[in-house]
A and B are shown apart, each in its own frame.
Chain A
Amino acid sequence: MRSLRGKLLPPVVAIVFSALLCSVALIISGSNPAKALAVMVVQVGRDTTLVDIVNSASVYYLVGIAVAIGFKMNLFNIGVEGQYRIGAALAAIVGGQLNMPPVIGQIVIILTAMVGGAAYAALPAILKVTRGVSEVITTIMLNAIAGGIIALLIKQGAFGVLNNNNISTKPIPSSNWIPGISFGSAGTVFGLVLLAILVGVGYWVLLNRTRFGFELQASGESPTAATAGGVDAKRMIVIAMLVSGAIAGLTALPEVLGRDHAYTLISPQGYGFTGIAVALLGRNNPGGIAFGALLWAFLDQSAVSLDVIQVPREIVTIMQGAIVLSVVVSYEVIRRLELAAEQRRVGLQLAAATTGSAS
């Protein structure tokens, strides 16, 4: 998967394929696919749609990176869902309870979210290395438990306050918010979009330029070769889970610090699962995940616009599912073709070299 073609072809094939699939679904349900597509494209320029897409994408990006770190190590951290919610709730509680000076406050809140997410990921990591329990099982169960823990934390009498009809954490004082970047009537981009970009760059550097990233990739590709090469598999599992959890903890912060200023019982859920799809779409590559996050956010927004012209919004869900499936399939197909081509190329070059030297 070294060539540009190998990188770009699969997502293009996947998107075209899923667009075709959705067109069929639309025709069957009696709508006009061309009209639906036009609406999806046109909406981007209207009102705050573009900014909304970028804002959603920043959230999806953070959670996608969190999942990708696990994937790189062959760990399926389904628990990012629970980890980000715990991280966000703890961060909002700390931000609301302590009246901290600016800058320091923001830093403390961000670190709290990371520590919270990492701590919640520590449990499955420890269970896996000491008892061999699959992280898939433990993290799924911990997702369910996370909801209960949060409800306990933010109930009235604990850290919660009643706000209209909704229970939430104490609001974070405005000195500890992170201001957005305003584009006037086009909306305001979360300030923490920059954090997402920073995390993406950090992820690339970590993977490709550090010893830790090397060991992570080696363990993910071949645990046996990594062990023979002196990589401590258990240590890598624990660290990878903790880092994944820490990044997961950041997920909801753009919203908490930039829009909601509190964590409520009805704060959004399900980003963890979106993150899995986005990481799959982006093939764990920082650039690819950015693309996947933007695409996902764009499709989410489309659901609203399609509703307006009476196209069933479920078509977006179909499209998202079809894209993920076809990306996974087309990457695998193209990976195999590329490897065969590579072997052929090496063979040809060597054959040319041998005949050259022999004659």
Chain B
Amino acid sequence: MTTATDLGNPAVVLTGITKRFPGVVANDDIRLTVRAGEVHALCGENGAGKSTLMKILYGMQQPDEGTIEVDGAEVRFRTPADAIKAGIGMVHQHFMLADNLTVQENVVLGAEALHGIGGRARARIQELAGQTGLRVDPGVLVEQLGVADRQRVEILKVLYRGARIIILDEPTAVLVPQEVDELFDTLRGMREQGFTFLFISHKLDEVRAIADSITVIRRGTTVGTVDPTSVTTRQLAEMMVGSELPSPETRESTVTDRAVLTVAGLHLSDDTGRAVLDEIDLAVHAGEIVGIAGVEGNGQTELVEAIMGIRKADGGSVLLVGADDAIVDLTKLSTLHRREAGIGYIPEDRHRHGLLLTQSLWFNRILGFQTRKPVVNGRWLDVEGARKDTRRIVEQFDVRTPGIEVPAAALSGGNQQKLIVGRELSGDPVLVIASHPTRGVDVGAQALIWEQIKQARAAGLAVLLVSADLDELIGLSDTIKVMLRGRLVADADPATVTPEELGSAMTGASTGGEEEA
């Protein structure tokens, strides 16, 4: 691969960084040179070792081997405080802000010694904001801010502490396309002023749009550094994966007119009486994948849990047409009975809702199926049956594990997810509800899970897909519905819609409410 531009002095040089964890070598002989005043992207699939590397650079973890140089001098960071002193700041993927404090208080918190906590601090924040274009009112409470503004506060926080080299960990994951553009404008402006950025992402189009050079990490080691103008997104992706790429595209339509799931007038209020689900009408047909798009927190979780019976809706009905064409009214049934009626459920948080982490894989196979063969026999567990069927899943879904007696916690995220997908597709479901089915899994597992969902659709299953990954939604879905503030506000045709259009609809910018719903 070509070497990146040699403009500017190296701001950060990592040489031979190696870090081992129990069971994995997270980083293996990583070499990375970041020049001052550039946006340097670090790409790699989930689990490739990007986050570990950045934690090492930020002093949160110590490398087992290798050296770090900042501005030409070798450094050794024992804590993030050391890294901050050296001018390195990090903006985490999950924001670390106190909701009940103001922007100014959040920025100053922990750095009171720099400019006090009063007027001088405020002036400094405003100066930084003016200089960088990160405009946000220091006096406003963080809880009143949207995601993009919170991110600005996070960046201000590291600038306030004197950072010149800023690590951005998946900064666009939480933003809709328009906000991504704004962020990139800001970054470009700051780059002109000499700030250096290390930009971690696996969204390659975005990386190519912003980065001056791109380093690809695969399986814990650097594959190479490339110039974004000389590679295509596809080439980059293949560097990341090391082989051919999966795609979420579904083939010809298999949609039938047999509605498997019919949701009518579903309504749910939270403790304060605010409607989190408001008059939801939804039908999913056999052989159809219906995608739900929406900024997180607009009621998708509640919708799924209301359909599953985990939350009790306070109005509306949920009907399911079983395999034998009998209509089952789920509205008053328990989660268990809904599952028995033929719903498979891939929950959004596999650790909290999908697995018993300290239990063996076969024990996990029983969860959700504790009334059905082959894993139980009446009131008795059929341990042999459960083991046998778990072996089937391990084989069929390529769950990488040395055996089915290991605790679920010992598997990697992708393999845990494959186990869940395999389990939930067991027992001949008629409907599969998949919440963020490929979140936080590696590309290999992602491809397999997509393929399984496609096969399920081809076999005539109805699929309700909730995802924050717009490419996944557009690629897999036959119909997309946009959810905003607890309502389904618009429909989109995945054949024609672009992620940008979807993004506008998700924020309510383009539809102004509900024109097509």
Contacts and interface: CB of A to CB of B under 8 A. Distances in A.
Contacts of A226: 367
Interface string B314-346: 000000000000000000001111111000010
B354 A350 contact: no
A225 B367 contact: yes
A146 interface: no
B359 A340 contact: no
Contacts of B370: 211, 214-215, 229-231
A228 B335 contact: yes
B353 A214 contact: no
Nearest to A223: B352
A217 interface: yes
Given A211-B370, A227-B335, A228-B353, A346 B347 contact: no
Contacts, number: 109
B352 A224 contact: yes
Contact of B336 (A231, A340, A344): A231
B240 interface: no
Contacts of A222: 352, 355-357
B368 A343 contact: no
Contacts of B376: 211, 214
Contact of B22 (A228, A231, A347, A349): A347
Interface in B401-435: 401-402, 405-407, 409-411
Contacts of A227: 310, 335, 353
Interface string A197-241: 000000000001111111101100110111111111000000000
Contacts of A229: 335, 339, 367-368, 370
A212 B376 CA distance: 11
B358 interface: yes
B245 interface: no
A342 interface: yes
Interface stretch (B48-56, B78-86, B107-115, B379-387): B379-387
B407 A342 contact: yes
B366 interface: yes
B336 A232 contact: yes
Interface residues of A, number: 35
B47 to A, nearest CB: 12
A227 B310 CA distance: 7
A345 to B, nearest CB: 7
A228 B407 contact: no
Nearest to B347: A228
Contact of B23 (A215, A217, A231, A347): A347
Contacts of B392: none
Contacts of A211: 370-371, 376, 379-381
A123 to B, nearest CB: 25
Given A221-B356, A342-B407, A228 B371 contact: no
B73 interface: no
B409 A225 contact: no
B355 A225 contact: yes
A82 B363 CA distance: 35
B379 A210 contact: yes
Interface residues of B, number: 42
A232 B334 CA distance: 8
A230 B358 contact: no
Given A211-B371, A211-B376, A343-B22, A228 B310 contact: yes
Interface centre among A221, A231, A339, A346 (most CB of B within 10 A): A346
A181 interface: no
A71 to B, nearest CB: 15
Contacts of B355: 222, 225
Contacts of A348: 23
A47 B77 CA distance: 68
A343 B337 CA distance: 35
B308 interface: yes
Contact of A210 (B357, B371, B381): B381
Contacts of A214: 363, 366, 370, 376, 381
Contact of A339 (B359, B402, B407, B411): B407
Contact of B405 (A2, A209, A343): A2
B400 interface: yes
Interface string B274-311: 00000000000000000000000000000000001010
Contacts of B371: 211
A37 interface: no
Contacts of A345: 23, 402, 410
B509 interface: no
14 contacts: A208-B381, A210-B379, A213-B381, A221-B356, A221-B358, A222-B352, A225-B353, A225-B354, A227-B353, A228-B310, A229-B367, A339-B410, A342-B407, A344-B22
- CB-based closest 8 A-B pairs: A347-B23, A230-B336, A229-B368, A229-B367, A228-B353, A344-B22, A349-B402, A343-B23
Interface of B: 22-24, 308, 310, 334-340, 345, 347, 352-359, 363, 366-368, 370-371, 376, 379-381, 383, 400-402, 405-407, 409-411
